[in-house]
Structures are given as structure tokens and as C-alpha cells.
Amino acid sequence: MGFVNNFFGRFSQDIGIDLGTANTLVYVRGKGVVINEPSVVAINKKTNEVLAIGKEAQRMVGKTPAHIVAIRPLRHGVISDFEVTEQMLSYFIQKVHEDGFHFLPRPRVVIGIPSSVTEVERRAVEEASLRAGARAVFLIEESMAAAIGSRLPIHEATGNIIVDIGGGTSEISVIALGGIVANRTLRIAGDELNENIIQYARNNFNMLIGERTAEEIKIRIGSATDTMEILEAPIRGRDLVTGLPKEVVMNGAQAKEAMQRSISIIVDAIRACIEETPPELLSDIIEQGIYLAGGGALLRGLADVITDATQIRTHITDDPLTAVVRGTGIVLEDIEAVQEVLLPSVHGSKIK
């Protein structure tokens, strides 16, 4: 059996997946990151038929008739809709294989998940992946994958701290000797910052704006600190008084004010995680610095705010959006050598 699996392993396109609340990224062994699409599925409620997945479905968010719904099947990094997640994973696995031969064996899959998930939630990810066409499934904590993808020396007896701010969760982990020493997982991340902007527009401009508009504002003018440059962007939505369309100009200071509380909670959690860290590891962390990964790492001035609050230099990893999926890819390249960083399999998927 081992021979058969090894033979298959040589030909199958093993893949690493960053199954994110906002975006799903797929890494194919030997090819790199081949898919980066929103974790959205559009479904026709009348026929229960999947109309679109990924970018196509994202375009439909907030713009669909009553019988078509655009679903995000993951909430806070956890599967909230099992069937839809399975269909989404199936779509991405098939998309990877469509340019290959039809007789290619099913792939082994490494998936990054938040470290706070329960065994039931882990089982859901494994089952959805197996039913979507995986031969074997291996799970890894997102922060561990982000540290590996950022090329941090996680197997050495030195302390590394990584902050992975995604769409649904922010994860702060201190890693040494291939294991997590201290960890904090928050359900405050990119989606919550969008929600803050929606709430701010409601309270201060008396207008209702959509999720996509809020995200565009966050990317264009969002900032964690006061900036010298003048940042402004028009926001369009519905006037809550008249019910008619309305446009106002929002500036960077207002966007910062909207997100201030959530950013403070993330910074406080980083400080709390550092306070839990053994003093021997702290000296390494002071030397190495804090590493930021995930889409939230791109928020203007966030690294400076964390540096000021912790007195530890904060760096943004190279290409923070793909750090987790690149980490799963590095694990795939030599899965036998790094098996201690993988979470135990609920289904008993074997490495070989």
C-alpha cells in the first residue's frame, strides 16, 4: 500500500489551502500560488443550484434578486455552512486539476485553520475536504503556517512572534521549537473593521453603506495612525432619513476614528500574549521583532502603532496576504520532515 501511495504521490498535484473567511488561496506543489479568490458562493434558492464561486460570486454580493443569495460559508475562520464549503473546496480542487490529465490521482491537501477551532470544527474541515476530492487531509494552525511562510526559524530554540490578521480572525502566536508557546485568537479582524466603518457612516452621516463599499474605504483611506498625507474618498449609500441615494466625502481621520476601538483590542491582545511569554524567549523576540501577516498587516500605520505599544520593532512579512498559503506549500514540499507542526488528524489521514 505504501508503494502505491508513493507512486500516486509522485503524480498527484498536492495542494495547500488557506481556507480564509474572506479569501481562499490555493498553492500547488511545484507551481506556487495558483488561486486567490473570495470565499463566496452564489446559490439559486429555487433550484439549490450553485451559480458562481469566488470572484464571480463576489461581484453579486448585495446585488442579487431575492431568490439568489451570495453566501460566505466561513465565519470567523470556521465553517458555518458545511455543504456550501464542500462545494467551494470541490470547485477549487477541480480548478487546479482541470489543466492536468484526467487520470491524475486525488491530491493530498494541507489546510490552514485558526488554532482556536474545536475538534468538531476540525472534523468539519477534514470531511468537507475529503468529500471535495482530497486523498488525505492535514491541518495546520494558520499562525504556524504564516510563520513558516514568512521563513521564521520556528524549529530553533528561539522565540518568534507572528500576528496574522485575516478577514474573520486575528491570531497572535509565540512559536519556539516547532510548537506554539503562547497564543491569542480574536474574532476581530478585517471584517470587523469593515463593520466599524458601516456603523460610523450610520451614526455620523446618517447613511447606510454596503460591505464592499466599507472595504474599499478601508483600503483607500483606512489608517491606524494620524498620517501627514490628506486621504479622502467619496462614499455612496442610502440616506436613512430620506431613503434616497447620498454621497459624502470621508477623510482618513474619520476612518481612523471608526476603526480605533477594534485596533486597540488587537494591540492589547498582542501585549497580553507578550506578557504570557517566558522571559528567555522575550529576549529573542526583542531582537527578532514582531512579524505581521494577513491582509490586516497592510493597514496603514498598524506596524507603527504596535511598535509604540510594545516597544518591539514590528515588521510586515513579504507579501503578507499569501504568508499562510506559502507556509502550507513549504509543508507540502517535505511533509514527512515537518509532521510535528501538523494538528492530529481526526480522520487518521496518514503522512505516507
The C-alpha atoms of residue 98 and residue 108 are separated, in whole angstroms, by 16
Could you tell me if 236 and 247 are in contact, meaning their C-beta atoms sit under 8 angstroms apart?
Answer: yes
Backbone φ and ψ of 220, nearest 5° = -75, -45
**168 annotated as belonging to a binding site for a ligand:** yes
> Side chain identity at 174, as an amino acid letter?
V
**169 annotated as belonging to a binding site for a ligand:** yes
Task: Spell 63-100 as b/e; 16+ CB within 10 A means b.
Answer: ebeeebbbbbbbebbbbbbeebbbbbbbbbbeebbeee
**22 annotated as belonging to a binding site for a ligand:** yes
Short-list 86, 106, 87, CA closest to 96: 106
The C-alpha atoms of residue 104 and residue 95 are separated, in whole angstroms, by 13
The C-alpha atoms of residue 154 and residue 299 are separated, in whole angstroms, by 26
The C-alpha atoms of residue 191 and residue 33 are separated, in whole angstroms, by 24
**303 annotated as belonging to a binding site for a ligand:** no
The C-alpha atoms of residue 317 and residue 306 are separated, in whole angstroms, by 14
Q: Which grid cell is 29? A: 506543489
Task: List Cβ neighbours of 148 (8 Å cut-off, separation of 6 or more).
Answer: 154, 326, 327, 330, 331, 338, 341
**201 annotated as belonging to a binding site for a ligand:** no
Short-list 175, 195, 191, 194, CA closest to 183: 175
**286 annotated as belonging to a binding site for a ligand:** no
**21 annotated as belonging to a binding site for a ligand:** yes
The C-alpha atoms of residue 129 and residue 95 are separated, in whole angstroms, by 14
**216 annotated as belonging to a binding site for a ligand:** yes
**229 annotated as belonging to a binding site for a ligand:** no
**167 annotated as belonging to a binding site for a ligand:** yes
**297 annotated as belonging to a binding site for a ligand:** yes
**257 annotated as belonging to a binding site for a ligand:** no
The C-alpha atoms of residue 224 and residue 222 are separated, in whole angstroms, by 7
Binding site for ATP, by residue number, is 21-23, 167-169, 215-218, 295-298
Binding site, by residue number, is 21-23, 167-169, 215-218, 295-298
